[in-house]
Amino acid sequence: MSTSNPARGVSGKKLVIYLVAEPETPDLAQAAVEGGADVIELGFPFSDPLAEGPVIRRASERALARGMRTHACLDVLERTRELLPETPIVPMTYAAILEAYGYERFVTDARKRGATSFILVDLPVEEQPALRRIQLVAPTSTEERIRAAAEVTDGWLYLVSVTGTTGARTELSPTLPPFVQRVRAVTDVPVYVGFGISTHELARAAGGLADGVIVGSRAVEVAETGRDALRDFVASLRTALDS
């Protein structure tokens, strides 16, 4: 994956910003990239998202109440792709959505509409092996599972920084450094850290350990206050990662 904005990202650390698919999201995604995001993770909302804390759960409920079903989410993906021709865009969703839409059909349609890869938070590595996607590993993952995920992941590994759901944390988990080491010991694949990264301080700390950071819940909250606020927030993360 390449950065869309060569003027930024001098550290080489990737910044991934998560947003829930809603009608405003293409514009917000553009603001995030203006602020220095390298990758947009686009949440397709599910009614019962087991991995989400309150912020993304509420945002998902709101999006569903506004009619953001799979077809509408694919439309948002396509409009985001039109605004951001160079930026990797990765839909993140739950197996239930693909079960209903059809796994192969989803991959085909989403790629046609601009998806770079996929993240399926409740689809373990052994399920649907034909679906090439970014795999997740957690602090509880065994070495064997980390190795299996690294072997088949699409470009980078998503490290879940904590045992827990998504949502802002005030500090980095003390178990993150040994976890990153454990993953590095078995694979050379780039590792990006997500879950709980909410401030530029945490982004800097996580960026010191990993090849990229993923900011979700806090980005969703800031995006609710508008595109300028989101751009400035992302810029603060970018600066922290590059400093």
Partner 1 sequence: MSDFGDYGGRYVPETLIPALDELERGWREALADDSFRAELHHLLTTYAGRPTPLTLAERFAPGKRIYLKREDLLHTGAHKLNNALGQAVLAQRLGKRRIVAETGAGQHGVATATVCARFGFECVVYMGEEDMRRQRPNVERMRLLGAEVRGVDFGTRTLKEATSEAIRDWITNVETTHYLIGSCVGPAPYPELVAELQSVIGHEAREQMLAAEQRLPEAVVACVGGGSNAIGIFHGFVADEDVRLVGVEAAGAASLGSGRPAVLHGARSSVLADEDGQIADAHSISAGLDYPGVGPEHAFLRDTGRAEYRVATDEEALAAFQELARTEGILPALEPAHALARARDLDAELILVGLSGRGDKDLAEVLERL
CB of 93 to partner 1, least distance (A): 10
CB 84 within 8 A of CB 30: yes
CB of 80 to partner 1, least distance (A): 20
Using CB under 8 A as the binding rule, the residues of this chain from 79 to 138 that contact partner 1 are 94-101, 121-125, 127, 136-138
For partner 1, the closer of residues 95 and 229 by Cβ is: 95
3-state secondary structure of 159: strand
61 contacts partner 1 (rule: CB under 8 A): yes
> What does the H/E/C string look like for 38-86?
CEEEEECCCCCCCCCCHHHHHHHHHHHHCCCCHHHHHHHHHHHHHHCCC
Among 142, 181, 225, 243, binds partner 1 (CB under 8 A): 142
For partner 1, the closer of residues 125 and 176 by Cβ is: 125
3-state secondary structure of 25: helix
For partner 1, the closer of residues 82 and 143 by Cβ is: 143
145 contacts partner 1 (rule: CB under 8 A): yes
CB 121 within 8 A of CB 60: no
Among 1, 111, 139, 182, binds partner 1 (CB under 8 A): 139
- Cα distance between residue 91 and residue 44, in whole Å: 7
Among 119, 160, 210, 213, binds partner 1 (CB under 8 A): 160
CB 131 within 8 A of CB 108: no
- Cα distance between residue 192 and residue 229, in whole Å: 24
CB of 195 to partner 1, least distance (A): 9
CB of 239 to partner 1, least distance (A): 31
List, in order, residues 6 or more apart from 6 with CB less than 8 Å away. Answer: none
- Cα distance between residue 61 and residue 45, in whole Å: 7
151 contacts partner 1 (rule: CB under 8 A): no
For partner 1, the closer of residues 139 and 155 by Cβ is: 139
Using CB under 8 A as the binding rule, the residues of this chain from 15 to 54 that contact partner 1 are 46-48, 50-51, 53
163 contacts partner 1 (rule: CB under 8 A): yes
- Cα distance between residue 77 and residue 81, in whole Å: 6
**Positions in the binding site for partner 1 (CB under 8 A):** 46-48, 50-51, 53, 57-58, 61, 64, 69-71, 94-101, 121-125, 127, 136-142, 145, 149, 160, 163-165
